[in-house]
Amino acid sequence: MGKNADQIASDIETFVTGSASAPRHDRVLATVLFTDIVGSTARAEEMGDQAWNDLISFHDKIVRQEFARIRGREFKSFGDGFLATFDGPARAIQCAQAVCRGLA
């Protein structure tokens, strides 16, 4: 059985420097949640600027509140949506459900 790329790199490092560095464990399991207000452009046009801005402010407050409560990490926000990560699918699903209930 052949060596993988990490093992080969470690062998080269040991040969060149005389010692191998500690292994890096930088892999994690994450679940990504993307939210979006469907039809937001048309809805914004119908509502007008002030009402739309009020709605977006309320939306953002609820979403961020649920991210904090369920231990999600906001990665990026868009005009009408968010991208967040969670430490597993159960938390992401729980957050999505809570956001839907909070915005209903």
Mean pLDDT, range 53-72, rounded to an integer = 96
Q: Are strands 31-36 and 73-78 parallel, antiparallel or unpaired?
A: unpaired
- CA–CA distance, 4 with 18 (Å, rounded to integer): 20
Mean pLDDT, range 47-75, rounded to an integer = 96
18 or 90, higher pLDDT: 90
Q: How many Cβ atoms sit within 10 Å of the Cβ of residue 30? A: 14
CB–CB of 68/85 below 8 Å? no
- CA–CA distance, 68 with 62 (Å, rounded to integer): 10
Residue 58 pLDDT exceeds 60: yes
- pLDDT > 90: what percent of the chain? 68
Predicted pLDDT at 12: 79
Predicted pLDDT at 3: 73
9: enclosing H helix or E strand: helix 5-17
pLDDT digits (tens, 9 = 90+) for 3-54: 777 777 777 777 777 777 776 667 778 999 999 999 999 999 999 999 999 9
- CA–CA distance, 86 with 69 (Å, rounded to integer): 12
